[in-house]
Structure 1
Amino acid sequence: MVNQTVKMIMIFFLMGWALIGCSEKSTTQGSVEEGKNREKLTAVATVGMIADIVANIGKEHVEVTSLMGPGVDPHLYKATQGDIGKLDKADIIFYNGLNLEGKMGDIFVRMANQKPTIAVSEKIDPAILREPPEFQGHYDPHIWFNVKLWMQAAERVKEGLIEADAAHKEDYEQNAAAYLKKLEELDAYAKEQIASIPEASRVLVTAHDAFGYFGDAYGIKVMGLQGISTDAEYGLKDVQNLVNVLVNQRIKAVFIESSVSPKAIEAVVQGAREKGHEVKIGGELFSDAMGEAGTVEGTYIGMVRHNIDSIVAALK
């Protein structure tokens, strides 16, 4: 009888351990499955050019939203309550920095205390940034117009995504490598096409000084009626000075920008005409914002290629 009782106790004891083992296995397996089915990382970017990097590197693992759409000027942009809500809900935030989003600086400081809030320009060596005297001690923020610099921004986005979602590190690295290869090709295309314009005609006149990095990288002189920011004022003297350059150098075309009112450039064209020199509007360039979503110009690469092709067609 005693032996029978001992046997029964041993059986119940072994069954208990088996149940515990199954429970632990089930819990572990559930955790693995949950990791595999993890919801997408939610990213918010300020401008479309940055959102495009995030989309290309994050792909299926990231849902990205851009606060500023086509035709929106980031220099003058003020965040809405809806924007604040998006930033609050985001897992990670990307912005340009270098005072591009000048009116949002305090917001980024606050958000950085809550979640990864990354300036894509933050690891670029200041020694290679433009700091013209007229920028009053500020760096030129329009780094996306030197494709090589924008490749460094892409590297920072990759690092940020990995920091926030290490589980998909390998995918982010592979996606980044593929995207960086496309940017290498874009850089080569820009050099080749701008070099095809006769040297005397390599003068790019636009509404504001957004294309300085482009000019330095690809060998074209850039002149803007306004300064680094569209918030800067311009006067009659600025218009007259630009008109004199157009007339004296017999420049064929000037360009309007998708995110800037064309009135200033139209005044320059009229001033040149009054001095007997016909200047045409060479086309619309994308400067501080990309084109409409779903169009070729609604991507960073498509936007830059559109600008290059428009400049070459008008000046060549």
Structure 2
Amino acid sequence: MTKHIAVLLTLIFTAFSCKKENKKNNSKLQVVTTTTMITDLITNIGKDVISVEGLMGSGVDPHLYKASEGDVNKLVNADAIFYNGLHLEGKLVEVFEKMGNQNTKTIALGEVLDKNTLIGSDYFASNYDPHIWFSINRWKQVTSFAIQKLKELDPKNAETFEANGNAYLKQLDELAKNIKNTVDSLPEEKRILVTAHDAFSYFGKEYKFNVVGLQGLSTATEAGVQDVQRLANFIIENKVKAIFVESSVPKRTIEALQAAVTSKDHEVSIGGTLYSDALGTEGTKEGTYIGMFEHNVNTIVNALK
């Protein structure tokens, strides 16, 4: 256990022991979420009948996120915590597991998925790719699971959760159709997606993209000079037209890759910014899961055409 986690757990359990039973008067279910994708999902299902607070904002990398002392009150006062699991929130998983023994319901959404359908990894702690939101079909499964869990947590609003959730599932069906139409406009031989880290494998599998990340599944792993040179050669050999930065990963890694390609007397453009581990700014189209997905696919297809 790291020193940071030990200190955080001490703060949380001290707060638990001092906490008064003051929630009886608050009729709304208090939900804490980790990533922006999950915050958006739970908000769509619960709308105004629950209170949702997200730990991570736009542009925040969940692989490296450390909970602050300011997060302690959110966690302690929560009736339930929804998180991705599959070691996405690596530095928080231990905290959530221990909080599950303190009358706080902790729900790892990724656990509902059949492990046989997940993409494995030899290099990541969980042995599974945690970027499950880039598969709309898997995100629909996660949505159905979240609906059920909210109904169990707050039975008096079960009908509301069911209605909101079903409406959202229909929106995801529509999203899937739109994404397929957009991707179909790009010839398969041009479907090579080079990004800062390996976040888009589920997307690549569903839409027949060859996805190559400069870093691995977790941004905690650094890309070395050899990684940059190897990927530069791959870009030249495959005549890749554009590569992409990510909103939650420093631009310098992709800029170094572009410079390596240029040094070999070839050119590759930076095709735009993709939202990988976090949504866009709250209140914008890209600040929603659906808007993020549409933005990413439009950016990729337009740059590679």
> Is the CA contact (8 Å cut-off) linking 1:250 and 1:277 kept in structure 2?
no
Q: Deviations over 1:138-158 (max 9, x none)?
A: 100000000111111111211
Give the counterpart of 1:294 among 253, 261, 283: 283
How far the C-alpha of 1:115 sits from its partner, in A, is 1.7
How far the C-alpha of 1:38 sits from its partner, in A, is 6.5
How far the C-alpha of 1:132 sits from its partner, in A, is 3.0
* Equivalences, count: 281
The residue aligned with 1:51 is 39
User: Is the helix fraction higher in 1 or 2?
Assistant: 1
Give the counterpart of 1:128 among 107, 112, 117: 117
Give the counterpart of 2:198 among 209, 215, 222: 209
Q: Deviations over 1:236-279 (max 9, x none)?
A: 11001100111011110000000000111111111111222211
Give the counterpart of 2:159 among 170, 180, 205: 170
Does residue 64 of the first structure (1) align with residue 52 of the second (2)? yes
Give the counterpart of 2:147 among 158, 162, 166: 158
Q: Distance in 2 between matches of 1:309 and 1:144?
A: 17
Percent identical: 51
Q: Deviations over 1:95-118 (max 9, x none)?
A: 000000000112101221122110
- Which of structures 1 and 2 has the bigger CA Rg? 1
User: TM-score normalised to the size of structure 1?
Assistant: 0.86
Taking only aligned residues, the RMSD between alpha carbons, in angstroms, comes to 1.4
Give the counterpart of 2:297 among 290, 308, 316: 308
Give the counterpart of 2:256 among 260, 267, 270: 267
> Is the CA contact (8 Å cut-off) linking 2:199 and 2:213 kept in structure 1?
yes
Give the counterpart of 1:186 among 175, 189, 193: 175
Q: Distance in 1 between matches of 2:125 and 2:237?
A: 29
Spell out the pairing of 1:3-152 with structure 2 (5 A cutoff): 39-113=27-101, 114-135=103-124, 138-152=127-141
> Is the CA contact (8 Å cut-off) linking 1:194 and 1:219 kept in structure 2?
no
Moved over 2 A (4+): 132-137
How far the C-alpha of 1:170 sits from its partner, in A, is 1.0
> Is the CA contact (8 Å cut-off) linking 1:154 and 1:176 kept in structure 2?
yes
Amino acid at match of 2:86: L
Amino acid at match of 2:190: S
3-state SS of 1:133 partner? coil
Unaligned runs of 5+ in 1: 1-34
Q: Distance in 2 between matches of 1:135 and 1:112?
A: 25
Q: Distance in 1 between matches of 2:234 and 2:180?
A: 25
User: TM-score normalised to the size of structure 2?
Assistant: 0.89
Unaligned runs of 5+ in 2: 1-23
Q: Distance in 2 between matches of 1:198 and 1:275?
A: 27
